[in-house]
Structure 1
Amino acid sequence: MNHTIITSSQAPAAIGPYSQAIKNGNVLYTSGMLPIDAEGQLQVGIIAQTEQILSNLQNVISEAGFTMEDVVKTSVFMTNLEHFGQMNDVYSRYFDNHHPARTTVQVAKLPRNAEIEIELVAIKQQPNQ
């Protein structure tokens, strides 16, 4: 498999045997991102957590030469869907001109007792496409 491991110092380091992202050709797959800053501090509250995650993801995809406009799919995992509106308000600022496909599900628990985790897939268009 011809893939490249992507790592950004502007996002939290992986806390296990995985990569922040993998680039394969013109496709980028990120791991699920928690609301942790680059120093390892967990943010508090759904608004701050969503903001931190999307900022982290933006930094990781930028490291690979992608932008938020290249994102085609996101998956959002939340421990409480009653916070969906607040999450969606923050999310919409990152995807204001472009709306990738999205799955949002409620889960029982996330690592570090986070309220939210987000992963994404981005595709960089090839020239002449």
Structure 2
Amino acid sequence: MTTTVVTTDNAPSLPAPLSQGIRKGPVLQVSGQLPLDPATGAIVGTTVTEQTAQALRNVTAVLKAAGANLADVVMLRVHLTDPAHPAAMNDAYAASVGEPFPARTTVYMRLPPGLLVEVDALAVLDD
């Protein structure tokens, strides 16, 4: 199977040794997307609701660059910085993702200052 690197200007590029996405066969892994504006690199929003919506826009941009969409996602992983944020994150998540919801794991971790959420995705595409 061929491995394909997925890149787009519609999602932020980070100064780190990673790809925005990798596709191998029908499997597409989207790297963790932060709530950054792809054009400026600035953090979008100060609330977990705003930041979740932007992180998911960035995930969607990488999916689109690979010929996929949220309907192809089987797993989303959400990384939050504060255990008080799940309700607000869930509202933004439900509005952005829609039903049927993919499987999901939510974990808590430290992110750089000002960042409240990071989201990555695993999608399976039809060949």
CA contact (8 A) 2:43 2:114 kept: no
CA contact (8 A) 2:11 2:59 kept: yes
Counterpart CA distance in 2 for 1:112 and 1:73 is: 27
CA contact (8 A) 1:68 1:94 kept: no
Aligned residues: 125
Structure 1: 5+ residue stretches without partners: none
**What's the % identity of the aligned pairs?**
37
CA contact (8 A) 2:72 2:123 kept: yes
State the 1:113 CA deviation.
4.0
Q: String of CA shifts for 1:11-34, please: whole Å, max 9, x gaps.
A: 101221111000111110011111
What secondary structure does 1:80 align onto? coil
1:79 aligns with 2:81: yes
CA contact (8 A) 2:53 2:96 kept: no
Q: String of CA shifts for 1:63-100, please: whole Å, max 9, x gaps.
A: 10001000000111101121111111111112222211
1:25 — aligned with what?
25
Q: 2:96 aligns with which of 94, 97, 117?
A: 94
Q: String of CA shifts for 1:47-71, please: whole Å, max 9, x gaps.
A: 1110110001101100100010000
Counterpart CA distance in 1 for 2:113 and 2:3 is: 29
One-letter amino acid of the structure 1 residue matched with residue 87 of structure 2: G
State the 1:124 CA deviation.
1.0
Counterpart CA distance in 1 for 2:47 and 2:119 is: 15
Structure 2: 5+ residue stretches without partners: none
1:6 — aligned with what?
6
